[in-house]
Amino acid sequence: MEKLPILYEDKHLLLVNKPAGIAVERDRYRNPSVEGRIADYFNTLKLPHNTIIGIAHRLDRPVSGVMLVAKKKSVLVHINQQFEAGTIKKVYFALTENKPEKNKATLSNFLFKDVQKKQAIIYDKAAKNRLPCTLDYIYKGETSLGHLIEIHPHTGKFHQIRAQLAHIGCPIIGDDKYGSKKLYKENEIALHAFSLTFFHPIEEKEMTIEAPLPGEFELII
Residue 163 has what pLDDT? 98
Check whether 221 has a pLDDT greater than 90: no
pLDDT band for 186, please (50, 70, 90 cuts): very high
Residues in the chain: 221
Q: Is the pLDDT of residue 1 over 70?
A: no
Catalytically annotated residues: 60
Local structure of residue 178 (DSSP, 8 states): G
Q: Return the beta strands (E) in 97-169 as ranges.
A: 104-114, 119-123, 131-142, 147-153
pLDDT in tens, 53-89: 999 999 999 999 999 999 999 999 999 999 999 999 9
Q: How far is CA 49 from CA 8, 46, 153, 167, in A?
A: 21, 9, 37, 48
CA torsion 51-54-60-66 (nearest 10°) is -70
Q: Look at residues 187, 83, 62, 45 and name the one whose alpha carbon lies nearest to residue 14.
A: 45
Average pLDDT of span 111-125: 97
Residue 132: φ, ψ to 5°: -65, 140
Q: What is the mean pLDDT of the chain?
A: 96
pLDDT for residue 217 is more than 90: yes
